[in-house]
Amino acid sequence: MKNVLVIGASGQIGSELVLALRNKLGSNHVVAADIRFPLDKELAEGGPSCKIDATQAQEIADAVKKYHIDTIYNLVAILSATAEANPMLGWNIGMGSVLNCLEVAREFKTALSTPSSIGAFGPDTPPDNTPQDTIQRPKTIYGVSKVAGELLSDYYFKRFGVDTRSVRYPGLISNKTLPGGGTTDYAVEIYYAAVKGEKFICPLQKGTFMDMMYMPDAIDAAIDLMEVDPARLIHRNSFNVTAMSFDPEIIYNEIKKHYPNFVMEYDINPLKQSIANTWPNSMDDTCARQEWGWNPKYNLTSMTEDMIKELKKKL
């Protein structure tokens, strides 16, 4: 990676990935792009930026040419619950961005990473210790577009030699930019409520286990996979990666160690609950560990300490 284009730079992952890549490669080598333009001050002043609507292939191609891009991160997506409320929007944004990025990557010979998700699994998938290679019959439009993205990315690698690689992210917990419309968002929002001294209304039932990860590990995963010697890779799109698995009670009790008076009540969101019920309880990420050295640094305890410390500064 010498010159990187991050599309969806203002989102939950992008806003942190751009900063990490600029630290690593130098600020002029990382172009931050988003449909919402201009970007916020930190991204706009820290290096090059441009407006890209990822459903317009020409806009991606123009940026790749202008900045001599060799690696694209396509972080464009409508998260699961929002996409379910507007399936055509979810499909058009999710698939439009991945197809356009693949075509541009083929034409300009760039590498490409389009993250997949735990949403690429469904109710027929083994829910515990979910294998790398298993049944993928998701029931959400988000999941359908993620599986299609995985398949297309592998197709472009095999058919055209495009260097596509990606991970299946679990729920991502971070303190810089909020996610929006995801089924796993509760695991971010619960920290904001605790630090603000508010009661937390949990939209998912007790006993709903899902994989989760703290953003610094998610950023390492994004960068490390793109840097590994491709000769080591047996898989490409996409690798199971996880750092922890918990249900609402477990994260609530961890936060209570810091805020003993913190109150959580349940008010189940039927849509989010029905989506969460079809996703794995915990994934097996052995292939990522073996093929490119995946090894997360944060568990629930250390993530909770850091989230609270950072949110106290912010709020």
Residue positions annotated with a catalytic role: 142
Q: How far is the CB of 106 from ligand SER (least distance, A)?
A: 26
Does residue number 136 form part of the binding site for ligand SER (CB under 6 A)? no
- The answer to whether 240 contacts ligand SER (rule: CB under 6 A) is no
Residue placing its CB nearer to ligand SER in the complex, 113 or 117: 117
CB of 119 to ligand SER, least distance (A): 5
Which residues pair with residue 112 across a beta bridge? 72, 164
**Candidate residues 67, 169, 214, 294; the one interacting with ligand SER per rule CB under 6 A:** 169
**79 near ligand SER (CB under 6 A):** yes
Which residue, 64 or 187, has its beta carbon nearer to ligand SER? 187
Residues 6+ apart with CB under 8 A from 292: 224, 225, 228, 232, 233, 239
Min dist. Cβ of residue 116 to ligand SER (A):
8
Any residues with CB less than 8 A from the CB of 34 and at least 6 apart, and which?
7, 8, 9, 10, 11, 14, 49, 51, 52
Amino acid occupying residue 305: E
Binding string, 194-223, against ligand SER, x = CB under 6 A?
------------------------------
> In the bound complex, what is the minimum distance in angstroms from residue 295's beta carbon to ligand SER?
21
Does residue 183 bind ligand SER (CB under 6 A)? yes
- DSSP string for the chain: --SEEEETTTSTTHHHHHHHHHHHH-GGGEEEEESS-SPPHHHHHSS-EEE--TT-HHHHHHHHHHTT-SEEEE-----HHHHHHSHHHHHHHHHHHHHHHHHHHHHHT-EEE--EEGGG--TTS--EEE-SS-----SSHHHHHHHHHHHHHHHHHHHH---B--EEE-EEE-SSS---S-TTTHHHHHHHHHHHT--EEESS-TT--EEEEEHHHHHHHHHHHHHS-GGG-S--S-EE--SEEE-HHHHHHHHHTT-TT--EEE---HHHHHHHTTS-SEE--HHHHHHH-------HHHHHHHHHHHHHHH-
Dig out the tokens for 208 from the structure. 């709903």
Closer residue to ligand SER in complex, CB, 19/167: 167
Should residue 184 be labelled a site residue for ligand SER when binding is judged by CB under 6 A?
yes
Written as six digits, the tokens of 223 are 């960068």
User: Between residues 117 and 153, which has the closer beta carbon with respect to ligand SER?
Assistant: 117
Q: How far is the CB of 272 from ligand SER (least distance, A)?
A: 8
Query: Which of 51-59, 85-93, 178-186, 284-292 is the region at the interface with ligand SER (rule: CB under 6 A)?
Result: 178-186
- Count residues contacting ligand SER (CB under 6 A)? 11
Q: Does 97 bind ligand SER (CB under 6 A)?
A: no
Among 94, 171, 203, 248, which residue sits at the site for ligand SER (rule: CB under 6 A)?
171
47: contact with ligand SER by CB under 6 A? no
**Binding ligand SER by CB under 6 A: which of 117, 136, 153, 166?**
117
**Of 14, 47, 94, 119, which lies in the binding site for ligand SER, with binding defined by CB under 6 A?**
119
In the complex, least distance from residue 145 CB atom to ligand SER, rounded to whole angstroms: 11
Residue ranges in contact with ligand SER by CB under 6 A: 79-80, 117-119, 142, 169, 171, 182-184
